[in-house]
Structure 1
Amino acid sequence: MNKQIPRRSGGRVARRAARLAPLAQDVRPVRAGLEGGAYRPLSDNDMQRIHETALQALEQIGLADAPQSGIDLLTAKGAILGEDGRLRFPRELVMDALALACKDITLPGRVKENDLQLFGNRVHFGTAGAAVHMVDVHGRNYRESTVQDLHDAARICDQLDNIHFVQRPMVCRDIVDSRDLDLNTIYAACSGTTKHIGTSFTDQSFVADALEMLHMIAGGEAEWRERPFVSNSNCFVVPPLKFATDSCQVMEACIRGGMPVLLLSAGMSGATAPSTIAGAITQATAECLAGLVYVNAVAPGHPAIFGTWPFGLDLRTGAMSVGSGEQALLSAGCAQMHKFYGMPGGAAGGASDSKMPDMQAGWEQMCSNVMAGLSGLNMVYEAAGMHASLLGFCHESLILSDDLIGQALRCVRGIEVDETTLALDQMHEVCLGGPGHYLGTDATLSRMQTDHVYPTLGDRTSPKEWAELDKPDLIDKAIARKNTILSEPSVAKFGPELDHALREKFKIYLPA
């Protein structure tokens, strides 16, 4: 009979202390850039047909309403301007642009540890959108969003491990002047987080001012161009198959200023895009291919994210259905097309049609976040905090989404199968003269943090324990976490000299 050797308690104490210490980035159970791609709703033949149809649409239909600068750039590369004013794109022109396109993009943070590597099936989750309201969970109503709300959202995101980037999720409705709005959006976000930031611009003429601000924050133009920590989210098309004239001019200015761009095609399935999932993906693919030709006509190899963002529509009412299964399929299918071209890409996931962070929001947010992650979508935009079909943003929901995305990332990580994880040696140890269970074994304890994701706010207590703890409410816990984060100084806060210089140069609305 095997004789058990008593274990020394000191070893267990040391292991417990090690478990309480923060985990290094490379051994965390989930982290930015995990490899997805296991879920493939489109077959290889499906993707080829979408590609061929998109090329036909570009050759036969083309896009209208390009600015004159775009017409000049694109026709010089081989696009054909028809008598109807539409630019048509020969197959060879599109394929040449794909060959020139940047296939491996780094989106820098203001600190290097927040850099995002976009290639293959690496998955990242973050915020995005242009919500015009904030969700008030106390009064169960909506109010207009402000620059303070944006700054607070950036500060919260900076403290959430599973939010990897911060694209502006809301509009500062308290700033009327468009130039001030664009510049204060950058200031509020950059002073709240050191993660990569996405923003947009109302007018081409504002880009130079924004770049001047970013040069000041970066320490100079050369430093900015070396590590551009803000990208331009650019709605360069107005679906179906029309260029957004002003946005195209903004895009040209951003590219020349060294700013990465997100080529964002956001058709509404059944309204501004075909109602079928395959048709909506095809049109978005065609539009983004045209955008890719445009970008590479301005600057070959400039970093551009393939932003196919078709949205679902409730055909009974005409309302958006961003929380639907159809939306999850749209984004997952788009992720496959990004891989078909070898392009870094992004799409929407994790938004809800629900007005509050309730059960409906939970199932809607998890459905599309998991499917987007499993499909290997590089950038899952609007993944946290977004409600009311993109009209409302919620700080508490943003915090709860950190838990939700943690579980989604664990699904993305998948199942590792090797000699260690098959655990035959553990079965021998436990079953042949051992304790008959795996609780407390060295193997279990050694992997409890690296293999398992534990919720920060989610409740796994028994009903008895829950009652003894005075029945804690999830929303109340999120409010408490928000208040704790916002009570502490922002780690991204500008130094006094830089902040003074920015306020001297630009009209800053946030209190000093």
Structure 2
Amino acid sequence: MTNTAPRRSGGRAARRAARAAPLSHDVRPIRAGLEGGKYRPLSEHDMHRIHATALDALEQIGLADAPQSGIDAMTAAGAILGDDGRLRFPRALIEDTIANACKKIVLPGRIPENDLHLTGNRVHYGTAGAAVHMVEPDGRNYRESTLQDLHDAARICDQLDNIHFVQRPMVCRDVTDNRELDLNTIYACCAGTTKHVGTSFTDPSYVADALEMLHIIAGGEDKWRERPFVCNSNCFVVPPMKFATESCLVMEECIRGGMPVLLLSAGMAGATAPSTIAGAIVQSMSECLAGLVYVNAIKPGHPALFGTWPFGLDLRTGAMSVGSGEQALLSAGCAQMHKFYGLPGGAAAGASDSKLPDMQAGWEQMCSNVMAGLSGLNMVYEAAGMHASLLGFCHESLILGDDLIGQAMRCVRGIEVDDATLALDQIRDVCVGGPGHYLGTDATLTRMQSDHVYPTLGDRTSPKEWMEMDKPDLITKATTRKNTILSEPSKARFDPVTDQEIRRKFNIHLPL
């Protein structure tokens, strides 16, 4: 007999489809800017000692090699130029600078929904770095990175919910002219994403050209200054305790052009910074406090991120150890010192020493990403895609990193304790005359999306299901998603008139 009864609409397939649909912002269990800060590797006493030692270092040792313009500005603010050419910073000058520095920084995206509000312990994850190679996991190969690779990375980041900003993660080795490299880097990133972008400049004379391009993208200089969606990542120091003369001149031009600045101190513990974690943090704080004086001497209150990026070193071999537990502690300790000063800041976490997106990469990336997030680091740089101790970048690893950061962000969100989450009524209803389990209850179903983070590519099937699906491979799944993203036009691409104007004024290497 044929069953002619009407089939129920919905059912399991409909529920699965509903769960797969993008969640509205108010329902999402994680989002940019969740509050961390519950992990505190330093005691209050420790932080006061680090601060006092940094003040001693600045007052007694100071920094060398500032350009004349910087010397003029900082001495006018109260720094003292010694006969040895080193600028020293009285305690009162440092304390006053901290008190008057910009404490509430907003890094705009090209669209407001991508704005980053850097206050308190709000956490944001993104890319960064200057990798010179692309990792191709299918053939286990390394090759030189290109402008197209950078543009593709920005396009992929634009589609990843847990990547909140895009600082240039690689160098475009196929653009050999430095001016064209800097301009094409901005073009490739901004044409790929509407999220906030970070970049650097090789020469101060290139900044004016870059600003002209950004004015065109923004629709005018006034609109750019209102919403500066690109930040200058500036290595203003050459550790230990020396200003990087050329980078300082770049920084001055960026400040005048209304561009936010990341004050980046990247000493290597055991080589260009003390080998102890506390000593490396002291030097990084000292250098960035000097940078803060510099910025505020040029333009009081200019948005400047405290970019303490001390890196670990394998003292047996001299190799970088960005995936180590020591690196995780360095970044978490720096985050805690940012809060001590009340200053928005960033540090490096989430990079791996592994050459491929393998198990080593997974444990290294998760360890430092979780610790950085729990410590309340405002900007977690190099959080996805970075391999080989910052020498290699991988698109597939970037996509897998989005899943990984999702789990890290769930840890940052923590445990809410209130009448609803304590669930006494649920326990009563299930145990007293109820089904004896919580599967399918209204309370479980209504909170399954808002309380839980589900991986996009991570596999939670049983071994039987996995075999029935022909044993899907995680890297292959990431490659498939990469190809899907890159097969569609970039949502951030410029309108034809804007693009034509940019190409008429600048030598853009990316094809139309």
Sort the TM-score into its range (normalised by shorter chain).
over 0.9
C-alpha distance in 2, partners of 1:182/1:28?
37
* Matching of residue 326 in structure 1 with residue 326 in structure 2: yes
d(CA) in 1 for partners of 2:209, 2:10 = 61
Alignment partner of 2:198: what SS? strand
Q: Which amino acid aligns with 1:324?
A: S
Which residue matches 2:4?
none
User: What amino acid sits opposite 2:151 in the alignment?
Assistant: H
Counterpart position of 1:455:
455
Question: 2:223 maps to what in 1?
Answer: 223
Offset of residue 14 of structure 1: 9.1
Cα deviation, 1:374-400, whole Å, max 9, x if unaligned, reads 000000000000000000000000000
The code of the aligned residue for 1:62 comes to G
Who is 1:57 aligned against? 57
The answer to whether the aligner puts 1:173 opposite 2:146 as a matched pair is: no
Deviation of 1:12 (Å):
9.9
> For 2:510 and 2:299, how far apart are their aligned partners in 1?
36
Counterpart amino acid of residue 48 in structure 1:
H
- Describe the SS at the equivalent of 1:27: coil
Q: Whole-Å Cα distance in 2 between the matches of residues 502 and 131 of structure 1?
A: 27
1:371 counterpart letter in structure 2 = M
Amino acid at match of 1:336: Q
Q: Under a length normalisation based on structure 2, what TM-score does the superposition of the two structures give?
A: 0.97
- After superposition, give the CA deviation of every residue in 1:6-65 in whole Å (9 maximum; x if it has no partner): xx9989999777645422213211110000001000000000000000000000000000
Match in the other structure for 1:434: 434
Q: CA deviation at 1:274?
A: 0.1
SS of equivalent to 2:123: strand
Does the C-alpha gap of structure 1 residues 65 and 451 become closer, same or farther in structure 2, counting only changes over 3 Å?
same
- The aligned counterpart of 1:380 is 380
Cross-structure match for 1:474 = 474
How far did residue 370 of structure 1 move? 0.2
Question: Can you give the 5+ residue segments of structure 2 that lack an aligned partner in the other structure?
Answer: 1-7
Amino acid at match of 1:435: P
The 1-side partners of 2:463 and 2:16 are apart by 27
Output aligned runs, 1:385-464, within 5 Å.
385-464=385-464
**Residue matched to 1:274:** 274
Deviations 1:323-344 (A, max 9, x none): 0000000000000000000000
**Equivalent in the alignment of 1:203:** 203
Which residue does 1:119 correspond to in 2? 119
Question: Residue 303 of structure 2 aligns to which amino acid in structure 1?
Answer: P
The match for 1:350 is 350
2: CA distance between counterparts of 1:89 and 1:399? Answer: 45
Kindly tell me: are residues 10 and 493 of structure 1, through their superposed partners in 2, closer, same or farther at Cα, counting changes over 3 Å?
Answer: closer
Q: 1:485 maps to which residue?
A: 485
Q: Which moved more, 1:55-64 or 1:132-141?
A: 132-141
In the alignment, the residues of structure 2 paired with residue 203 and residue 12 of structure 1 have an alpha-carbon distance, to the nearest angstrom, of 59
2-side partners of 1:212 and 1:72: how far apart? 28
Q: 1:399–1:508: structure 2 CA closer, same or farther, 3 Å change rule?
A: same
- C-alpha distance in 2 between matches for 1:175 and 1:18: 46
Q: Match of 1:305, SS?
A: strand
1:100 deviates by 1.4
TM-score by length of 1: 0.97
CA gap 1:443/1:17 in 2 versus in 1, 3 angstroms: farther
Q: Tell me what 2:238 maps to.
A: 238
How much does 1:198 deviate? 0.1
Q: 1:434 to 1:11 in 2, by over 3 A?
A: farther
1:25 counterpart = 2:1: no
What is the rounded CA distance, in whole Å, between the counterparts of 2:317 and 2:346 in structure 1? 28
Structure-2 separation of matches of 1:229 and 1:109: 5
Matched residue type, 2:491: V
Distance 2:191 2:354 in 1: 30
Structure-2 residue corresponding to 1:495: 495
Deviation at 1:265, TM superposition (A): 0.2
Gaps of 5+ in 1: 1-7
Aligned pairs, how many?
A: 505
2:26 partner SS: helix
Q: Secondary structure at the match of 2:109?
A: coil
Amino acid at match of 1:52: A
Distance, in Å, in 2 between the alignment partners of 1:498 and 1:300 is 34
Looking at structure 1, the residues matched to 442 and 48 of structure 2 have their Cα atoms a distance apart, in angstroms, of 50
SS in 2 for 1:25: coil
> Compared with structure 1, are the counterparts of its residues 471 and 16 closer, same or farther at alpha carbon in structure 2 (3 Å cutoff)?
closer
Cα deviations by residue, 1:157-181 (Å, 9 ceiling, x for unpaired): 0000000000000000001100000
Alignment of structure 1 residues 9-158 onto 2, 5 Å: 19-158=19-158
Aligned to 1:231, what secondary structure does the other structure show?
strand
- Which SS does the other structure have where 2:291 is aligned? helix
Inter-partner Cα distance in structure 2 for 1:480 and 1:23: 23
Cα 1:280/1:212, change in 2 over 3 Å: same
Q: Provide the residue aligned with 2:194 in structure 1.
A: 194
CA distance in 2, matches of 1:455, 1:10: 24
Distance 1:168 1:212 in 2: 19
How far, CA to CA, are the matches of 2:234 and 2:359 in structure 1? Answer: 33
* CA positional deviation for 1:186: 0.1
User: RMSD of aligned C-alpha atoms?
Assistant: 1.4
Q: Deviations over 1:111-141 (max 9, x none)?
A: 0000000010000000000000000112211
Aligned to 2:3: none
Structure 2 residue aligned with 1:301? 301
Partner of 2:5 in structure 1?
A: none
Q: In 1, Cα distance between the equivalents of 2:142 and 2:224?
A: 38
* Structure 2 letter corresponding to 1:134: M
Deviation string, structure 1 residues 297-317 (Cα, Å, up to 9, x no partner): 011100000000000000001
C-alpha distance in structure 1 between counterparts of 2:92 and 2:274, whole Å:
26
Q: 1:87 to 1:427 in 2, by over 3 A?
A: same
Deviates more, 1:14-23 or 1:287-296: 14-23
Distance 1:432 1:316 in 2: 62
Give the distance between the partners of 1:417 and 1:242, measured in 2 at CA.
49
Q: Which residue of 1 aligns with 2:163?
A: 163
Structure 1 residue 315 corresponds to structure 2 residue 293: no
Amino acid at match of 2:452: H
- Secondary structure at the residue paired with 2:106? strand
Q: What amino acid does structure 1 have at the position aligned with 2:218?
A: A
Distance in 2 between the 1:392 and 1:257 partners? 32
Q: Distance in 2 between matches of 1:500 and 1:307?
A: 36
